[in-house]
Amino acid sequence: MSGLNAGGSDVIWSFAQGQDHVGLYGYGPNVVGSVPKSAVVASGSTTITLSDNTRITFANISHLSTHDLWLARGLSGVCSS
């Protein structure tokens, strides 16, 4: 997934905790620590909302960890590995 457009929304299916990571580009140095604290869990999936109103839902993940996210510098947006 890549998103250079602010305010979009996406669902990440088959996210493997401990193997996969989401890179957060251009959101500031505190984003990785703050995002999981404000995450919303519903129906066994976790949704995070970033400062530009980008929403990402991690399907079938009920506990998102800071280890699942990377702070990345450079372009603005989100990517997953």
Three-state SS across 3-35? ECCCCCEEEECCCCCCCCCEEEECCCCCHHHHC
44, exposed or middle or buried, with CB in 10 Å at 0-12, 13-18, 19+? exposed
Q: What is the CA radius of gyration of the chain?
A: 11
Q: What is the pLDDT of residue 68?
A: 92
pTM: 0.79
User: What is the span of the domain harbouring residue 68?
Assistant: 2-80
Q: What is the pLDDT of residue 78?
A: 53
Q: What is the pLDDT of residue 79?
A: 54
Question: How high is the mean pLDDT in each 10-residue block of the chain (81 residues)?
Answer: 68 94 86 87 95 93 91 60 51
Total domains in the fold of the chain:
1
